[in-house]
Structure 1
């Protein structure tokens, strides 16, 4: 342009072109507003516009010719520089006359995404001595890009853009670590530990307030939470048996208090050391019934996993057995996600056992599922990983639950987080049925 020879990798390739386009636009605007009698100025502007447009056309043809012969960024290079690192945010500027620029605008920003098979193939490709250079489609999650429409975001994450359309990529130079195929126990990235003084903290009053706020805001509680809210209300708020919500959900058609509601009422009284001997006996009966129910669940899962009887299992795996007994007492059915979902996503004891006994390394047992994939996290972190997965997949989960269907993600379309692919199964009622990693990295 104007005698300047440009190359597609020049640092300010489109600067002059943009300036000239702006000049043409201004000249055309001025020309449209000029009186007909101002012939001298009109002739000058007309000649200027024609000259500039000739230069613009020549520049465009030159760039398009160069791009037809070579490209700057290959699929493999994008993966090696950015895609192989977890959630590496990049800003992309497309070549001005490219198809991608026409479809999505010249600038987008997001995180490159890959299906499981694609990642495996790219890992293999970049490990070779001679890395291939492919001008192909690359998917990107631009969900946080405000200027893109929902249709554009969907197109980018499902189909992607052509790598050769990229003019420039910008990314932070913060240290990056590769998590894919990493062996051993991992930590969840960006974890901040906050120490809290629990003195004077009453968990029951906290639960009562939280559930009350959810109900007030039109939220949905799972059965366990409804019973807990009613039970806590009956103890902590005398007279609450007259509240419509408690009357409708805390008692049967004969006006009798529901067993689960009574359980949580007694539990609150025990916590407050405000319980009679008779009530302690009643509470123990509830605990015994739950113990029987949960031991049956443990037996069922152990049978499926090892074909061993509980007594035999206790003898061979005393440490794991002790952990299971602890979980039998401590585990609480709870919502894992309730904000902006069709129905709360929750797990119960059966789901907990299925996930932990088969896939938690600390509870690893021999048997049918000895070679099952194991979480690369400590026992306490697995629940957090599950919640992260649900949060990431929330829109897709909602789509299925709205249709009254189960949600499943597995195989090539599985969720990728911190170096692992995960399979997740959520039933139509919101219960987590299964969750596990899909690979066991080895040295």
Structure 2
């Protein structure tokens, strides 16, 4: 009612001031009447404001706990907020904003505990919100809202869709990545090597940075699929050593392409097998190193006691490829290699659960095939912060209270200054 009266009087003030500005100077009687009327209205507005501010300080409408219980605990619940007219938040951000409430790890844990109590507390405290998709807010305002937030008691009204809500926090068991769409593709006529060659050539043309493995693969594929490409400047600069000898990695990918096309000679096949044997030795050593770090077993014990996991590792030894996970608008491509892959999967993949020094390490709640997607989602979400660190020549780390939150889990991520993913894992296991 106070808002209604205030708005009504504001309109009367505006009308009186407009009439006064248009009134001839000689009409003194009317001008005196309007001047007195405006003064009376403005006194009323001052009283209305004082009454509203007093009510807000004594009886705020939304507490931090209520906002979390109604909206914040659910995954990516978008809400529209209208602030009280005379609140500090309205002055800083305007009357209306929209976004998704965000919470640090400790805040979420504390609020989960608070709303589980029979008599939940009501706190008039700070709430943070991601308004990145709000078109009228400035970058500075968006940063302020997601880093520092606003006082919950400044809210006048909250609007939200009535779509079904999902709570993934503390959910047990294997999860699906939300909003996943499966597309079936006929790969009968698909040539992955030509697809890679096209992709890398586009990235080079666009000025994107390729990691060492991708450069070698581009050169090797070019030499087989595009005869005469040895004369290209890029190939000459990146496919050969200072003595003009073809680099080993380039030759590996050239032979791999020939094998895929069934166009490889017996001599070349023997050469390719030598490359594979060398890589096998290198990767077995990496497996032994990670097993030693992550378990209380030696390699032979591990093979005997965990035959299924050992078989998975043997498959990865053959199938894994070092690759960029994200390069678009990155300071340098973010990639993972076999060492990083082993570190993530052997310690934190539930399907490869092992006992030992790290048997109580937190486990991903996703299948092996989805963990890579979760990692790519994390990198995309954290891209601005990652770039900021890499520009300085520093590692990027996010962990603890400010770890990344996605689909019910907080994640720790460590990326080296050269873009290599060193570690990635969830921060907690769900409560059983």
TM range (shorter): over 0.9
CA distance in 1, matches of 2:125, 2:33: 46
List per-residue Cα deviations over 1:227-251 (Å, max 9, x = no partner): 1111111111222222221111111
CA distance in 1, matches of 2:382, 2:360: 27
SS state at 1:264 partner = helix
CA distance in 2, matches of 1:180, 1:38: 70
Whether the 8 Å contact between 2:74 and 2:165 is mirrored in structure 1 is yes
What's the CA shift for 1:13?
6.4
Specify the alignment match of 1:343 in structure 2: 332
CA distance in 1, matches of 2:163, 2:342: 40
SS state at 1:362 partner = helix
CA distance in 1, matches of 2:281, 2:124: 61
RMSD: 1.7
Q: Judging changes above 3 Å, is the alpha-carbon distance between structure 1 residues 13 and 332 closer, same or farther for their aligned structure 2 residues?
A: farther
Report the more deviating stretch, 129-138 or 206-215: 206-215
Report the more deviating stretch, 23-32 or 189-198: 23-32
SS state at 1:14 partner = helix
What's the CA shift for 1:164?
0.4
List per-residue Cα deviations over 1:57-111 (Å, max 9, x = no partner): 2221221111121100001001100111111111111101001111111111111
Whether the 8 Å contact between 2:291 and 2:297 is mirrored in structure 1 is yes
CA distance in 1, matches of 2:310, 2:206: 42
What's the CA shift for 1:45?
4.6
Whether the 8 Å contact between 2:395 and 2:417 is mirrored in structure 1 is yes
Please give the TM-score of this superposition, normalised by the length of structure 2: 0.96
What's the CA shift for 1:24?
3.5
CA distance in 2, matches of 1:30, 1:252: 85
Q: Judging changes above 3 Å, is the alpha-carbon distance between structure 1 residues 276 and 169 closer, same or farther for their aligned structure 2 residues?
A: same
CA distance in 2, matches of 1:272, 1:28: 84
Specify the alignment match of 1:7 in structure 2: none
Report the more deviating stretch, 242-251 or 417-426: 242-251
CA distance in 1, matches of 2:213, 2:2: 62
Specify the alignment match of 1:395 in structure 2: 384
Please give the TM-score of this superposition, normalised by the length of structure 1: 0.93
Report the more deviating stretch, 141-150 or 408-417: 141-150
What's the CA shift for 1:17?
3.7
**Matching of residues 239-254 of structure 1 within 5 Å:** 239-254=228-243
Specify the alignment match of 1:93 in structure 2: 82
List per-residue Cα deviations over 1:380-415 (Å, max 9, x = no partner): 111111111111111111111111111111111111
Q: Judging changes above 3 Å, is the alpha-carbon distance between structure 1 residues 179 and 241 closer, same or farther for their aligned structure 2 residues?
A: same
SS state at 1:177 partner = coil
CA distance in 1, matches of 2:397, 2:306: 32
Whether the 8 Å contact between 2:2 and 2:48 is mirrored in structure 1 is no
Q: Which runs of 4+ in 1 moved over 6 A?
A: none
CA distance in 1, matches of 2:33, 2:254: 89
Specify the alignment match of 1:24 in structure 2: 13
CA distance in 1, matches of 2:261, 2:41: 83
What's the CA shift for 1:214?
1.2
SS state at 2:382 partner = helix
Specify the alignment match of 2:346 in structure 1: 357
CA distance in 1, matches of 2:9, 2:132: 34
SS state at 2:2 partner = coil
What's the CA shift for 1:140?
1.1
Whether the 8 Å contact between 2:223 and 2:229 is mirrored in structure 1 is yes
List per-residue Cα deviations over 1:266-290 (Å, max 9, x = no partner): 1111111122111111111111111
**Matching of residues 25-424 of structure 1 within 5 Å:** 25=14, 27-29=16-18, 31-37=20-26, 39=28, 42-43=31-32, 45-424=34-413
Q: Judging changes above 3 Å, is the alpha-carbon distance between structure 1 residues 72 and 245 closer, same or farther for their aligned structure 2 residues?
A: same
CA distance in 1, matches of 2:358, 2:335: 25
SS state at 1:251 partner = coil
Report the more deviating stretch, 220-229 or 273-282: 273-282
CA distance in 2, matches of 1:409, 1:274: 47
Whether the 8 Å contact between 2:296 and 2:355 is mirrored in structure 1 is no
List per-residue Cα deviations over 1:198-254 (Å, max 9, x = no partner): 121111111111111111111111111111111111111222222221111111122
Report the more deviating stretch, 226-235 or 161-170: 226-235
Structure 1: gaps of 5 or more residues:
1-11
